[in-house]
C-alpha cells in the first residue's frame, strides 16, 4: 500500500499566491534585509522590511523559488506587516502551513521555512 | 527481446504503486534500483557468511574474505584493470575523489594548477578547492561550447607546465555529455598532469576499459549501477597509486606499527583502512554479474535509445526546454529539462502525483546551472529496466503539466 498523495500539496491558497503574489517586489527604503538559499535546490529568497518606530510598516520579498516557497514568502510578508520585529520572529512554519492549507513532507518543508529563516536573519537584533 | 522486458521482473520495487499509479522510476542517475540477485546476495551473506575480513582465522572470516576479494576480481574484469591491486574499494565516488584530491594535494606546490570543467558535480569541484586551499594552488575550469561539449581549444590553451591535475567527468550528470576521455588524457599526460575521471554516470551505462581510456585514476559508485549504497571503486594505474601516500590511517592499511611510525600495507589495502563495506562488496559483485550477463554494449544501446527518444519527445512539447548536446550526439542516460513558468521542484512534485519519479534541482552542479542560466532543472534518467513506454508516459504528463498549477 503506497502512502496517500500529499493531500492537496498545491492547495488553492498556494496556487493563488504563486500565480499572483501580493507582496513580491522591491522595497527601496527597507531598513532590514536578508537573503539566503535553500541548499537542497538552490532556491533564493530575499526578505525586505521597513521598520518604523518599532513596527514593520512594509514587507516585500524577491527571489527565484518554487510555488511553495513563493507562497510561503508571500504569507510571511503579509503576516508580519504591522507587527513588531519581536512578534514577527515568533511566526512559525506551523502558522504558515495553516494559512497555506497544505501538508508537506519533510523534503519540501525547507521550501516553507526558507522565508522564515531569512526573516529571522533580517531581524536579528 | 527488449532489455526492459527482459529485466523488469528482476526489480521488485518496479511493481509498486506511488500515489495510486504504477511507479515510473526515472531517477536512476541519482540512484538505480536493485535487482533481486543483489538483494539476495547481500541477504545470503549476512545470513550465512558474515564476519570481519582479512584477520579472522575461522571459517566465517575466511568466507567473508573470499567473497570480499572475489568482488575485487570481478570489478577488475568489469573495468578492464590490469591487476587487482589497482582496484581500491571506497565508500563511493565522492569518497574516492576526496581520497585522491587529498593525497595529490599534499604534493602540490605554490603556482601549480588543477584543471576541472564547468560541468562537474560538486564532488569533483569542492575536494579540489580544499586541496588547493592554503597551498597557493589554483583551480581553473575548462569552459563549455554552446552545445554543452567541452571547449577543447580552450583546454589546449589552459594546459601548461603548471598543470598538475586534470579532473573531469566521463558523463555529465546533467547534460549527459560524454567527454573524450582518451583525448583529454593524452594531452594532459603530455603536459605532465595526472588525470582523474569521475565515472559515476559512466560505469552504469557504458562498457569500460581502463587500458583504452588512458586515464590515471577513475572513480565510480556502486549504487548507481544496480549495486548497494556505501561502496564505490577507485581504480588507479599501478605506478600512480604506488606514488600516492595514504591519507587515512587505521587497521588493515599497515604492515607494521610502532608507537612513533608505521609501514604501509601493499596495494590495494593501503587505501582501505578499517572494516570495509563487506556486504556492499558482495552486492556490488552481484550487480556487476547482472550487468555482464546483459552485456554493457547492449545496456549502452538501450539507454542511448531511451535518451534520444526523450530528447525528441520532450523537446517537441511547447514550453519545454531540453538541455545538453543535440539529439544526434551520443549522450549518457540523462535528459535535463525545464518547463516554462514552472519551478523544477513543482514539476517533480506534480509528476510524482502521477507516480513519475524525476530529479529536480541543481543536481549538485551549481556552476553548470549558472551556465544554463537557470536555478535548477528537472531530469529524467534511465537504467536497464527503463522503457520507451515510460518515456512516453513522461512526455504525456509533461504536455499537460502547465495547466495543473
- Angle A51-A57-A60 from CA coordinates, rounded to 5°: 90
3-state DSSP percent of chain A in helix, strand and coil, to 5: 40, 20, 40
Distances (CA, A) of B214 to A67, B211, B236, B239, B298: 47, 6, 11, 13, 23
Q: Measured between alpha carbons, how far is B328 from B55 in angstroms, rounded to an integer?
A: 53
pLDDT for A8 equals 67
- Is B346's CB within 8 Å of A44's CB? no
Chain B neighbors of A18, CB-CB under 8 A: 405
pLDDT for A43 equals 87
- Is A2's CB within 8 Å of B405's CB? no
For residue B335, the cross-strand partners are B380
Q: Find all residues with CB under 8 Å of B93, minimum gap 6, and list them.
A: B123, B198, B199, B200, B219, B220, B221, B232
Q: Is B364 a catalytic residue?
A: yes
Chain A residue closest to B352 (CA)? A5
Of the pLDDT bands very low, low, confident and very high (cuts 50, 70, 90), residue A125 is confident
Nearest to A101 by CA among A6, A4, A3: A6
Q: Is the peptide bond before B268 cis (omega within 30 degrees of 0)?
A: yes
- Is B375's CB within 8 Å of A67's CB? no
Pick from B339, B346, B357, B377 the residue to mutate for testing the A interface (most A CBs within 10 Å). B346
Please check the confidence at residue A22 and state whether its pLDDT lies above 60.
Answer: yes
3-state DSSP percent of chain B in helix, strand and coil, to 5: 40, 20, 40
Q: What's this model's pTM, rounded to 2 decimal places?
A: 0.92
Instruction: Locate all alpha helices (DSSP H) within B123-168, ordered by sequence.
Output: 126-132, 152-158
**E strands, chain A, in order:** 32-37, 44-52, 55-64
| pLDDT per position as a tens digit, A95-119 | 999 999 988 888 889 999 999 999 9
- Is A10's CB within 8 Å of B346's CB? yes
Q: Which of A61-65, B25-29, B143-147, B339-343 has the highest mean pLDDT?
A: B25-29
The enclosing H or E element of A73 equals helix A67-80
Q: Which three cell numbers stand for residue B162?
A: 603548471
Q: Are B189 and B62 in contact (CB under 8 A)?
A: no
Instruction: Locate all alpha helices (DSSP H) within B275-387, ordered by sequence.
Output: 278-294, 296-315, 344-352, 366-372
Nearest to B208 by CA among B97, B80, B298, B90: B80
Please check the confidence at residue A1 and state whether its pLDDT lies above 60.
Answer: no
Q: Find all residues with CB under 8 Å of B190, minimum gap 6, and list them.
A: none
Q: Average pLDDT in the B378-387 region?
A: 98
Distances (CA, A) of B87 to B56, B66, B120, B236: 22, 16, 23, 7
Q: Average pLDDT in the B291-309 region?
A: 97
Please check the confidence at residue A26 and state whether its pLDDT lies above 60.
Answer: yes
Q: Are B16 and B25 in contact (CB under 8 A)?
A: no
| pLDDT per position as a tens digit, B317-334 | 999 999 999 888 889 999
**CB-based burial label for B54 (10 Å; 0-12, 13-18, 19+):** middle
Q: Which three cell numbers stand for residue B375?
A: 536555478
Q: Which three cell numbers stand for residue B30?
A: 541519482
pLDDT for B69 equals 97
Question: Which candidate in B185, B215, B364, B372 is catalytic?
Answer: B364
Q: Measured between alpha carbons, how far is B369 from B377 in angstroms, rounded to an integer?
A: 8
Among the partner-chain residues B16, B366, B404, the one whose CB lies closest to the CB of A2 is B16
Among the partner-chain residues B18, B345, B404, the one whose CB lies closest to the CB of A41 is B345
| pLDDT per position as a tens digit, B154-164 | 999 999 999 99
Please check the confidence at residue A4 and state whether its pLDDT lies above 50.
Answer: no
Chain B neighbors of A10, CB-CB under 8 A: 346, 349-350, 404-405
For residue A24, the cross-strand partners are A61
Please check the confidence at residue B375 and state whether its pLDDT lies above 90.
Answer: no
Question: Is the complex ipTM more than 0.95?
Answer: no
| pLDDT per position as a tens digit, B81-124 | 999 999 999 999 999 999 999 999 999 999 999 999 999 999 99
Distances (CA, A) of B282 to A21, B34, B89, B119, B228: 53, 13, 12, 32, 9
pLDDT, averaged across chain B = 96
Please check the confidence at residue B292 and state whether its pLDDT lies above 60.
Answer: yes
Q: Find all residues with CB under 8 Å of B204, minimum gap 6, and list them.
A: B28, B32, B224, B225, B226, B291, B299, B333, B383
Number of other residues whose CB lies within 10 A of the CB of residue B63: 17
Crossing angle of helices A67-80/A93-100, nearest 10°? 110
| pLDDT per position as a tens digit, B337-373 | 999 989 999 999 999 999 999 999 899 999 999 999 8
Q: Measured between alpha carbons, how far is B155 from B128 in angstroms, rounded to an integer?
A: 18
- Is A111's CB within 8 Å of B345's CB? yes
pLDDT for A3 equals 36
| pLDDT per position as a tens digit, B214-270 | 999 999 999 999 999 999 999 999 999 999 999 999 998 999 999 999 999 999 999
Q: Are B336 and B378 in contact (CB under 8 A)?
A: yes
Of the pLDDT bands very low, low, confident and very high (cuts 50, 70, 90), residue A79 is very high
Q: Measured between alpha carbons, how far is B197 from B187 in angstroms, rounded to an integer?
A: 14
Q: Find all residues with CB under 8 Å of B159, minimum gap 6, and list them.
A: B115, B166, B187, B188, B191, B193
Amino acid at each position: 500500500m503506497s502512502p496517500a498523495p500529499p493531500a492537496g500539496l498545491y492547495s488553492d491558497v498556494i496556487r493563488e499566491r504563486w500565480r499572483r503574489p501580493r507582496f513580491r517586489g522591491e522595497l527601496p527604503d527597507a531598513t532590514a534585509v536578508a537573503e539566503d538559499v535553500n541548499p537542497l535546490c538552490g532556491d533564493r529568497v530575499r526578505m525586505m522590511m521597513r521598520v518604523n518606530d518599532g513596527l514593520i510598516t512594509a514587507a516585500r520579498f524577491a527571489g527565484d523559488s518554487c510555488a511553495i516557497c513563493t507562497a510561503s514568502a508571500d504569507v510571511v510578508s503579509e503576516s508580519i506587516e504591522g507587527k513588531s520585529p519581536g512578534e514577527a520572529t515568533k511566526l512559525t512554519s506551523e502558522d504558515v502551513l495553516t494559512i497555506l492549507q497544505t501538508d508537506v513532507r519533510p523534503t519540501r518543508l525547507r521550501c516553507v521555512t526558507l522565508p522564515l529563516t531569512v526573516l529571522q536573519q533580517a531581524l536579528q537584533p | 527481446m527488449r532489455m526492459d522486458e527482459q529485466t523488469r521482473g528482476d526489480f521488485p520495487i518496479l511493481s509498486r504503486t506511488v500515489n495510486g499509479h504504477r511507479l515510473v522510476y526515472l531517477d536512476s542517475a541519482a540512484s538505480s534500483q536493485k535487482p533481486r540477485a543483489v538483494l539476495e546476495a547481500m541477504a545470503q551473506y549476512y545470513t550465512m557468511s558474515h564476519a570481519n575480513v582479512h584477520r579472522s582465522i575461522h571459517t566465517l572470516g575466511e568466507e567473508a574474505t573470499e567473497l570480499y576479494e572475489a568482488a575485487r576480481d570481478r570489478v577488475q574484469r568489469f573495468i578492464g584493470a590490469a591487476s587487482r591491486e589497482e582496484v581500491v574499494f571506497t565508500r563511493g565516488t565522492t569518497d574516492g575523489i576526496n581520497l585522491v584530491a587529498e593525497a595529490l594535494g599534499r604534493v602540490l606546490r605554490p603556482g601549480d594548477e588543477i584543471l576541472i570543467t564547468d560541468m562537474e558535480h560538486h564532488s569533483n569541484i569542492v575536494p579540489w578547492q580544499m586541496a588547493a586551499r592554503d597551498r597557493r594552488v589554483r583551480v581553473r575550469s575548462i569552459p563549455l561550447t554552446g552545445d554543452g561539449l567541452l571547449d577543447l581549444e580552450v583546454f589546449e590553451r589552459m594546459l601548461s607546465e603548471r598543470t598538475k591535475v586534470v579532473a573531469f567527468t566521463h558523463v555529465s550528470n546533467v547534460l549527459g555529455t560524454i567527454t573524450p576521455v582518451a583525448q583529454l588524457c593524452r594531452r594532459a599526460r603530455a603536459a605532465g598532469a595526472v588525470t582523474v575521471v569521475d565515472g559515476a554516470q559512466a560505469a552504469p551505462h557504458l562498457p569500460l576499459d581502463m587500458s583504452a581510456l588512458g586515464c590515471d585514476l577513475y572513480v565510480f559508485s556502486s549504487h548507481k549501477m544496480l549495486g548497494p549504497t556505501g561502496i564505490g571503486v577507485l581504480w588507479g594505474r599501478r605506478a600512480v597509486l604506488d606514488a600516492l601516500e595514504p591519507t587515512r590511517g587505521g587497521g588493515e592499511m599497515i604492515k607494521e606499527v610502532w608507537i612513533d611510525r608505521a609501514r604501509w600495507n601493499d596495494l590495494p589495502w593501503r587505501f582501505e583502512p578499517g572494516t570495509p563495506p563487506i556486504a556492499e562488496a558482495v552486492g556490488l559483485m552481484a550487480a556487476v554479474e547482472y550487468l555482464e550477463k546483459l552485456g554493457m554494449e547492449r545496456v549502452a544501446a538501450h539507454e542511448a535509445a531511451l535518451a534520444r527518444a526523450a530528447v525528441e519527445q520532450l523537446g517537441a512539447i511547447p514550453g519545454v526546454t531540453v538541455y545538453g548536446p543535440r539529439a544526434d550526439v551520443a549522450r549518457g542516460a540523462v535528459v535535463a529539462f525545464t518547463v516554462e513558468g514552472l519551478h523544477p521542484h513543482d514539476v517533480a512534485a506534480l509528476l510524482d502525483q502521477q507516480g513519475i519519479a524525476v530529479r529536480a534541482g541543481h543536481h549538485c552542479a551549481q556552476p553548470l546551472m549558472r551556465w544554463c542560466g537557470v536555478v535548477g532543472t528537472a531530469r529524467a534518467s534511465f537504467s536497464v529496466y527503463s522503457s520507451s513506454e515510460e518515456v512516453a508516459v513522461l512526455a504525456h504528463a509533461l504536455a499537460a503539466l502547465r495547466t495543473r498549477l
